[in-house]
Chains A and B, each alone.
Chain A
Amino acid sequence: QVQLVQSGAEVKKPGASVKVSCKASGYTFSSYGISWVRQAPGQGLEWMAWITAYNGNTKYVQKFQGRVTMTTDTSTSTAYLELRSLRSDDTAVYYCARDYSNYVGASDIWGQGTVVTVSS
């Protein structure tokens, strides 16, 4: 079945970097965009960025530009999100999510989430 499986929980110190992976299965990875969405404890959903493995195009929320890098590996159908210069307010659950289609940018399939804790 179509699914996205994310890497495990991470604990990082302020100023460090974290790299979260999102492995796709059950569909043609390069045919769909992937969004990254985060959710701080007790808060709502925050859309961060988007990438398509088709041609590597990316979109970012301005606040993350310069701190976030997204990549894809089509050989393993895996997307990656790297967040640098971590701060305590980056503590959140990070989700990857697949675009429903090329024309509908809603997210139909979600990963299970990766908890990232930033603490000294």
Chain B
Amino acid sequence: EIVMTQSPATLSVSPGERATLSCRASQSVNINLAWYQQKPGQAPRFLIYGASTRATGIPARFSGSGSGTEFTLTISGLQSEDFAVYYCQQYNDWPRTFGQGTKVEIK
């Protein structure tokens, strides 16, 4: 199975600053990569698919990039509601696999 590795595990960022999250695949997943946001006690929220396409209703401050094995989620101008855990997931091959998550916390 494809192993997804996210870094860092925790990212401390001040409100208004930029956060850059990384996701690496153990083999190419083309652009079949999604990002999710999860807050405590809630189901994940769909943010990005196709590595860079924002889902409906997702603010423009969320952007994704990458292809193959290296991917990045950038959150520009962090707002209070953005502090959460972020997961990447590949859907290029079965089983679909998630990264272990990056927690974005207030600095």
Contacts and interface: CB of A to CB of B under 8 A. Distances in A.
B97 interface: yes
Do most interface residues of chain B lie in helix, strand or loop, or is the interface mixed? loop
**Contact residues of A: prevailing secondary structure:** strand
Contacts of A59: 94-95
Contact of A45 (B32, B45, B87): B87
Contacts of A106: 34, 46, 49, 89, 91
Interface stretch (A13-21, A84-92, A107-115): A107-115
Contact of A44 (B43, B45, B98): B98
Nearest to B53: A104
A45 B95 contact: no
A45 B34 CA distance: 13
Interface of A: 35, 37, 44-47, 50, 59-62, 95, 97, 100, 104-113
Q: Which 3 A-B pairs have the closest CB atoms?
A: A105-B91, A106-B34, A110-B43
